[in-house]
Each structure stands twice: as structure tokens, then as C-alpha cells.
Chains A and B, each alone.
Chain A
């Protein structure tokens, strides 16, 4: 069996790392003392039976660890379920490696991709089990795909399981082999599976979750009544959850493949979440010790971010990036490093920028639409921004002028797209605007052809990244000097979504633009395919509905959509990269969006006593931080504080 890893690896030369999959001598395996005691009491089968003959062997980052302790991180009381997901990890068939460059097997022992990137074969691990001890087999994958995802039982089948307008076909070759066949080439499929949203093929345990499906349980109505649920879908979601809804962490009975399983659930009104080691977890270290090292995840729920900062200072948080990494928290966290017993951990930006300005190229008013679609106008606005001044003032000097896209050290770096029109040049900006016939009115503000003043609003959510508002205010002053009046329009977040992504009522809007255009990531600032592409929402609708809704985009956008689809179909990384660069070429030529500064890393905290935690980790939802750094292999190198 030879996985086609040379094709899949984004960085050539690390292909041999897959040697990890070698069978381990299970009789040499070791387990946590608490589990050994339970085996001794006869409550659990011996380790070898629990992990099967083909557990994944993890090479620890620094060294083989020791068992014990708890990992504490802070949760917020509402909509913070994805924080648990990020720490526990989306245990899908495949995952990203720690560097976020290569896709490696995860729940699957290995995989093969056909040359035309249509057929994906996954080999599962012999003897692997769900957290309740039931064997995990190809039947579980079939249940997830056929009975839940492809049947559209809970939601329409996500596009990631479709290609060429047809659903994927899933077959069981034997108890430990499954094959996914697409109608058309689909090179990005593995990256889709590696992202947190791609866990569906192995999310639900058939033996448990099938009881909530009418197909398997004709008496499901009784269960619905007993649980006081609205219908069987509601009951299914309440008991088995979904990838990113809170109830995924709300049912301690649900069997999972995760390193830790829920003991005290995340439910409305909970004050903490506690997860304990999964005795059947399927990874061991190089010395044969079953992972995880750390006994317990312990997440107190604080309603308020400021209470989280206090918890960190008091040394009651062992690892946290989310919520704490706002630049405004850095001084107080830095000052209390010794008291709290933590160090900083860098959440490296994958590339791009934290604020992209999207003029609405599909504006409802034809006059504004014409103006925003004039390339020279956008160039003038870009040249009219004094980026260095904005960085000095609003970003406290931390930044570097940048337009869009990956950094210099990334294979997808596109110099022109990233660095064109960066220099502050008021005279040239004025010359361009004069050339467009935009005369200045009596107050110095230019006038549109209809005689209306050139005054538009930029929508922003002030609570998302507070510095965006400061940046926009400075830019507004700078644009005033070239005769352009821009008003900052802070909006409540749902109103923002409604006005921009749904209603297309905005003049312009800003949004984060971290991007490296790797598979699985949506390049929404160079091709409008996502509701965060606020520069052409009707085009997004056109693309997503296959032309049924929205507006047909201009040729250059259609060409990019075609290239993007082609890139998603391509399995060879170099060919895929070449296609994405062509998309970027066109985007650079069109120059639709512009920005101010590179996205700089943010900093979270990690307890100094924790071993095997890297100094820096990529910060991305698609990765998702910190799961691929394998928290299950972190351990307490020095005794834990605060216990």
C-alpha cells in the first residue's frame, strides 16, 4: 500500500513522515495509572484490546511525556463550543500536520487517491473502538455518509461531498476499507476532510445515533415524546450534536473518537465543562504509551472576557489563545507572566491582512456602481492612504504595509497582488481622481457626475476587532485630503450581516482577510464565492446557486470562478498552485479590494510547566488552532500550579 503522498504533500520532501503508520507492538503499550487500575478491577479490557493492532504512533514534539494533571482553559457561556472543538480536535479521517503544509492520515490508517483525483480509498485501523468500547468499522462511515449526510437527514448535503453536480458515492470494500467516488476530479477533497467542517464521515457512532433515525428505529416518536423534543431531528441534534453546535458537547453518553470525552457537559447554564480521557483512544507515543497524557480537560465558564483575563493572571488557565489574544490584553498579560506562571505562545498569521476594504462593486445605485467599478478610482483610494501613519497610530507600530494574500515566505506569495499601490502618493491620487472628471465642490469634497457629493459609508463591526474602527477613522481623514468623504459606519454584528452579506445594501465594508490559498481555505478576497466576499454579493449568489440567483458576474470574475473550480479539482499541488496564482494574477490586474497592513501574529498564553507545546502555531480555523499540535501529546513536565 503506497499512499500517493507525493501528490498530496504541499512541501516536497517530508513524505517519509508517514512511516508513523507502522504497526506497534501492542504488548509493549502502556497506559495511564487510572486506566490500569480499572483494568485491574475488571472494569475495562486490557489496553491491547482497547487500541487494536494499528494505533497511530505519534512522535512527541520534545520528548515522551508522563501521565496526569489537567489542562485548564476558559470558555465563555454562549457560542463557545468551537473552542472545545479546537482543543479536542476534529478527529476526522485525515488532519493537517503541525506545520499546516501537509495532510496526514488521522482516523484513517492510510489513504490512496486515484490519478484522476476522483476515487479516494481510506483504510481504517484494525481493532479501533469508539469511546464506549464498540468497534469502529466501515459501517460507521457508511451510516454517517449514506443515512445522515447524503440522505440530507438534518441539512442539505454540503457541497464538499458533491462534485460535478452529483453526490459522492460511498462503498464499503471490507470491514476496514471505504471508498469515496466522485463524478468529477476533486483534488481538494482531502483538505475539505481535514478542516473542522469535514468530520462528518466519522462523526456519529452508528450503534448509538441510529436509534434517533426513523429508518432504524420505527419507535423514534416515543423517544421524542419522552425527551420532550420537538421532532426526531431535534432529538438527534440534542443527543448526537453536529460539527459546530453546542449540543455536540452536551451529551456524555455519545460515543466519540476524541482523546477526551465529556463528563460534565456544555449545556445552557453550565458553570464548567469537564472532559476525561477516552480509554479507547487510538494514538500512542513512540514508547508505546497510550495518549492523551493529560487526564482531564477542565474548562470553567466565564461569562465575561475580563474575568478570563483575571483567571489567566491568577494562574488558573493553562492554555488559551481564543478570547485572550486581543492586542489590548497583551500588556496586562505580559506584566503578570511570573504571577500566572505562563509564557506567550505565538498564533502566527497564515498570511494576508486583518482588514480588507471591500467597495461594493455590485452597488444598487448605478452611479456608485459605475464609480466603484472604475479601477483608477480604487487605485486612487489605495494611494491616498498613508499606511505607515495608520500602522503607527492605530496598530501601535505593529504592521507592515500590505494589500492582500500570503506572505513572502509562502509558496503562494503573489508579489503584485500583495504590494502594488502601497506607497502614499497624494498627488498621484488627486491626478487620477481629476482624470475621472470628479470635480471638487465648494467644501473640497469631489462631486459625482450627478452633482451629489462623493460621500460613502464603510460598514464595520466595532466589537470584532476594535482597531478596525481606529484605522478607518484615520483613513477617512486621509481620504478627505484627496476630496473623498468616507464615513465610518459601525454596526451591530447581526445588522452588519443582514445589510451586507444578505441585503447587499452597503456602499463598502471591511472584513478580516487572512489567507494563504491552501486547499480547504476559501480565497474570498480574490474570487467572490463566499458571503464574506462583500465586494460582489450578487456574484456570490450567482456562483453558489449555479446561476439561478444573483447576478451574472463580469468575464474576469467568471474566469476566476472557473479557475478556482478547476483548482479545487486538481490533486497535484504544483498544478493547483499554478491555477491559484492565475486567479491571483487576474485579481491583481483588476485590483478590486485593498488593505492596509499585514496580519501580524497574536499571542495566547501557555503554562510554563506544559511540555510538547510549540512556541508558535498557525492561527486558522481551517487548521484549526491548536488541534494539529496534538494537545493529547502535551504533558506536565513540572507539577501543575494552582492545584
Chain B
């Protein structure tokens, strides 16, 4: 039963991925101009001049003057053989650029996910069980502030405070001496010493929303007859809470795993941009801004594939913990 469900879901991903690759390539091509026009425009913004003849020669070399389908075919046939092409801007194979940054992105996304759960799970339960208590109000207030403030703004404010009042730099993930050093215990500790700031900044809004979801879901369950029955049978309040209503209210937590996968790549692009984090987010944004076609295309394709995989994983997990999903 479960196996058939999984196989069916996996088969569905194939046509979906083909559609995604076509759409993402079309999206990258959609803005006017190409890599070379944005290259010229960016340089002009800093007062630099571009050699016009060279631009035209490059356009021909990169095949940017070809029709859409020809360009798409060139790209996708390479991708199927594992060749994502060359980044125009960096003259490097796209694959090298992407994998270089994935490690830290995974680290950051996992850290943020754990932080979100660690905060949202207890606080959500607390504010549902102690509805309208002082603690609930405090959690709710923080929740709303966290939801309403864009992450990148929190980042900017923290950076400003850091520089003006503490004379310290909160951006980046490593101290200067460890930035390009090989991995060592010192470097890991240094990473941990820096990681908590982006983790908190990135985690605020998602924890805030999870707290609200947890609270609402749990409130729905708490007054159902089975809870009253269990309580009447003499189950201790804590065991009762954990064994039944919380398990049911847990579904959204599992669903967040599905979002966590694409977050590995897009991981709060703007925040990472502001904080100059060496994760894949800023590289993705730059590639899009510079219209660095193959780099951006590979990112978006990966992003979509990971979303699909993430959703698959969370669907399977949901099916495991919640029999209702399986039988539909």
C-alpha cells in the first residue's frame, strides 16, 4: 500500500521535472537582454566602458544569438549528461560553483530548521495549553513581530547595532583568519560562534508562524471528546498531551521538511545577501541579476528538483505518522 503510494509519487515527478526545466529556462530568458547586456550595464554603473566589438564576439561564442529552443536543447542535453555548462561570468563549470557552497547552505538550513522546531514546539504547546495566560500573550506578541518583520531588515538592524555600539561585525560565517583555512576544530568552533546570528535571524519568522500553527491545531484537538475520555480514564496530563493531541498537531512540522529542501539553495536569499553569507543564496541572486544563464538555470532546476524531492519525503513521512493520508 505504502509502496504503491511511493512509486506513484516518484513516477509523477518525471513529467513534472521536464515541465519545470522548460519553464525555468523560459523564465531565465524572459527578461530583456542577455548576460552581455547586463554585463555592459553593470560596468557602466561604475563608470567602466566595455569594448563593444568584444561583446558581440562573445554573444556569438556563447550562442546567445540563437533561437530559444536551440539554446534550451543545448542546455538540457548537457544537463542530462551531467554537464551543467559554463558560467559566463566566472568562466568556470557551473557544477563546481554550486557544490562549493552547498555544504554551508545545508548547515545553515539544518541549523535554522532545528532552531525553529526547538522554539516552536514547546512554545506552541505552552501557548495552546495555557491559552490567554501572560506567557501566551508574550509568545503571541513575539510571534506577530517575528512574522511581520522581514528577515533582512532584522539583519540590517543587527548589523548596524553591531558596528555602531559594539564595534563588531556580525556578517559572514567565519572570522577573518578562518575564512579560507582548511577545516579544523578551531574552524568548526568559529563557525558555530558565527552561525547562531543568521540562524536566529532566519528562524524568527518561521518559528513565529509555526508557533501560531501549532497553537491553532492543538486548540482544535484539546477539546475533542477523546481527550476528555482519556483524562477521565486517569491518564496523566503530560502523557495525555504528548500521546494524542500533540501527535495530531504535528503534521505541519513534518510538512516543513518539504520546504526545508529548497531552502538549502534559496535559503533566504536577501538575508544571506545582506549578511554576506557564503551560502548559495547570494550566488543564485547574482546569477539571476547578471543573467548568467547556465548558472541560474542550474540553480533553479536544482531548486525545483529539491522541492519535488522534499515534498516527496514529507509526504512519505506524513503517510507514516498519519494513516489518514495513506488511504486517500
Q: Which chain A residues have a beta carbon within 8 Å of chain B's beta carbons?
A: 77-80, 82-83, 154-156, 158-159, 196-197, 228-230, 233-234, 237-238, 242-247, 250, 264, 267-269, 271-272, 274, 300-304, 306-307, 310-311, 313-314, 316, 322-323, 461, 463-464, 492-499, 502, 512, 522, 530-532, 544, 619-622, 624
A268 near B93 (CB under 8 angstroms)? no
**Given A238-B92, A269-B97, A310-B159: A82 and B295 interface contact (C-beta under 8 Å):** no
**CB < 8 Å neighbour of A156 from B53, B87, B95, B174:** B53
The 3 A-B residue pairs with the shortest CB-CB distance in the complex, in nearest-first order: A494-B33, A493-B41, A78-B286
Complex: chain A residue closest to B46, CB-CB: A322
For A233, A268, A502, which residue has the most chain B Cβ atoms within 10 angstroms?
A: A268
Q: Are B47 and A620 in contact (CB under 8 A)?
A: yes
A307 touches B278 (CB 8 A): no
A82 to B43, CA, bound (A): 8
Please name all residues of chain B whose beta carbon is closer than 8 Å to the beta carbon of A154 when the two chains form the complex.
Answer: 57
Inter-subunit contact A619/B47 (CB<8 Å): yes
Interface-facing stretch out of B163-171, B213-221, B232-240: B163-171
Say which residue of B41, B274, B290 sits within 8 Å of A496 (CB atoms): B41
- Scoring B residues 159 to 191 as 1 if CB is less than 8 Å from chain A, else 0, what string do you get? 110011001010110100001100000000000
14 A–B contact pairs at CB < 8 A?
A: A159-B53, A234-B86, A238-B92, A244-B50, A247-B92, A267-B97, A271-B278, A301-B276, A316-B169, A463-B45, A493-B45, A494-B33, A495-B31, A531-B52
**A237 and B31 contact, CB distance less than 8 A:** no
- A494 and B32 contact, CB distance less than 8 A: yes
User: Is A310 in contact with B160, judged by CB distance below 8 angstroms?
Assistant: yes
CB distance from B275 to the nearest CB of A (A): 8
Q: Please determine whether A264 and B180 come into contact, CB atoms closer than 8 angstroms.
A: yes
Contact of B38 with A307 in the complex, beta carbons under 8 Å: no
The reply to whether A77 and B282 contact each other, CB–CB distance below 8 Å, is yes
- The docked-state distance in angstroms from the alpha carbon of A499 to that of B33 is 9
Asked if B91 CB lies within 8 Å of chain A CBs, one says: yes
**A296 vs B52: C-alpha distance when bound (angstroms):** 34
Q: Is the CB of A303 within 8 A of B274?
A: yes
Residue of B39, B90, B156 ringed by the most chain A CB atoms within 10 A: B90
- Residue of B31, B32, B97, B159 with highest tally of chain A CB at under 10 A: B32
Residue on B with the closest CB to A625? B47
Q: A247-B92, A268-B283, A269-B278 are in contact. List 20 more A-B contacts (CB 8 A).
A: A79-B290, A155-B54, A155-B58, A228-B83, A234-B86, A244-B43, A247-B90, A267-B92, A271-B174, A271-B276, A274-B180, A303-B282, A303-B286, A304-B273, A313-B163, A313-B164, A314-B169, A494-B291, A497-B37, A531-B52
Is A307 within 8 A of B44, CB to CB? no
A78 lies within 8 A of B41 (CB): no
Which of A271, A322, A620 has the most chain B CB atoms inside 10 A of its CB? A271
Contacts of B159 in A (CB 8 A): 307, 310
A244, B48: Cβ atoms under 8 Å?
yes
Verify if B119 is at the interface (C-beta below 8 Å from A).
no
Contacts of A494 in B (CB 8 A): 31-34, 37-38, 41, 291
- Chain B residues near A159: list those with CB within 8 A: 53
B100 at the interface (CB under 8 A from A): yes
A83 to B48 Cα, complex, angstroms: 9
Question: CA–CA, A202 to B248, complex, Å?
Answer: 71
How many Å lie between the Cα of A497 and that of B96 in the bound state?
32
Of A197, A230, A250, most B-chain CB atoms within 10 Å: A230
C-alpha gap A494/B273 in the complex (Å): 22
A78: chain B residues within 8 A (beta carbon) = 42, 89, 286, 289-290
Chain A residues closer than 8 Å to B97, beta-carbon distance? 267-269
Residues B60-89 near A (CB distance < 8 A): 61, 83, 85-87, 89
Which A residue's beta carbon lies closest to that of B38? A494
**B residues near A250, Cβ cutoff 8 Å:** 90-92
Whole-angstrom distance from the CB of A411 to the nearest CB of chain B? 23
Output the least CB separation between B99 and chain A (Å). Answer: 10
Count of A-B contacts with CB under 8 A?
171
Closest residue of B by beta carbon distance from A247:
B91
A532 to B41, CA, bound (A): 11
If A79-B43, A463-B45, A620-B47 touch, whether A158 touches B53 (CB-CB below 8 Å) is: yes
Residue pair B295, A268 in contact (C-beta under 8 Å) = yes
Q: Are A464 and B45 in contact (CB under 8 A)?
A: yes
A306 to B290, CA, bound (A): 20
Q: Which residues of B contact A620 (CB under 8 A)?
A: 47
Least CB distance from A437 to B in Å reads 38
Give every chain A residue within 8 A of B31 (Cβ-Cβ): 492, 494-495
A497 to B39, CA, bound (A): 11
B residues near A497, Cβ cutoff 8 Å: 33, 37, 40-41
Q: B9 at the A/B interface (Cβ < 8 Å)?
A: no
Kindly provide the distance from the CB of A551 to the nearest chain B CB, expressed in whole angstroms.
18
Residues of chain B contacted by A229 (CB below 8 angstroms): 86, 93
Cβ–Cβ < 8 Å partners of B44 in chain A: 464, 493, 532
Contact call B163/A314, Cβ cutoff below 8 A? yes
A contact residues around B322 at 8 Å (CB)? none
Whether A307 contacts B274 by the Cβ 8 Å rule is yes
Partner of B46 from the list A197, A246, A307, A323 (CB cut-off 8 Å) is A323
**Contact with B32, one of A82, A238, A498, A522 (Cβ below 8 angstroms):** A498
Interchain nearest-CB distance for A120 vs B (Å): 21
Q: Write out, one digit per residue, whether chain B residues 277-299 have a CB within 8 A of any chain A CB (1) or not (0).
A: 01010110110011100010000
Residues on A with beta carbons closer than 8 Å to the beta carbon of B93: 228-229
A622 to B96, CA, bound (A): 35
Q: Which residues of B contact A461 (CB under 8 A)?
A: 41, 45
Q: Closest CB-CB distance, B27 to chain A, in whole Å?
A: 15
How far is it, in angstroms, between the C-alpha of A512 and the C-alpha of B90 when the chains are bound? 29
Q: A156-B53, A302-B276 are in contact. Are A82 and B46 (CB under 8 A)?
A: yes
Q: A269-B278, A269-B283 are in contact. Are A237 and B46 (CB under 8 A)?
A: no
Asked whether A493 and B38 contact (CB < 8 A) given A268-B295, A323-B46, the answer is yes
Give chain B residues whose Cβ lies under 8 Å from the Cβ of A463.
45
Q: A417: shortest Cβ distance to chain B, in Å?
A: 22
Minimum CB–CB distance from A511 to chain B (whole Å) comes to 9
Which of chain B's residues have a CB closer than 8 A to the CB of A316? 169
**CB-CB < 8 A to B34: which residues of A?**
494
Q: Which of A83, A242, A264, A267 contacts B90 (CB 8 A)?
A: A267
A154–B61 Cα distance when bound, in Å, is 9
Interchain CB contact under 8 A, B48 and A82? yes
Please, how many angstroms separate the alpha-carbon atoms of A156 and B60 in the complex?
11
Q: How far is the CB of B117 from chain A (nearest CB, A)?
A: 29
* Cβ-defined contact, B163 with A310, below 8 A: yes
Distance between Cα atoms of A530 and B49 in the complex (Å): 11
In whole angstroms, what is the CA distance A531 to B54 when docked? Answer: 13
A295 CB to closest chain B CB, in angstroms?
A: 15
The residue from B45, B91, B95 contacting A234, defined by CB atoms under 8 A apart? B91
Question: What residues of B have a CB within 8 angstroms of the CB of A495 in the complex?
Answer: 31-33
Given contacts A158-B51, A158-B53, A229-B86, contact A304 B286 (CB under 8 A): no
B166 to chain A, nearest CB (A): 10
On chain A, the residues within 8 Å of B163 by CB distance are 310, 313-314
Q: Are B37 and A498 in contact (CB under 8 A)?
A: yes
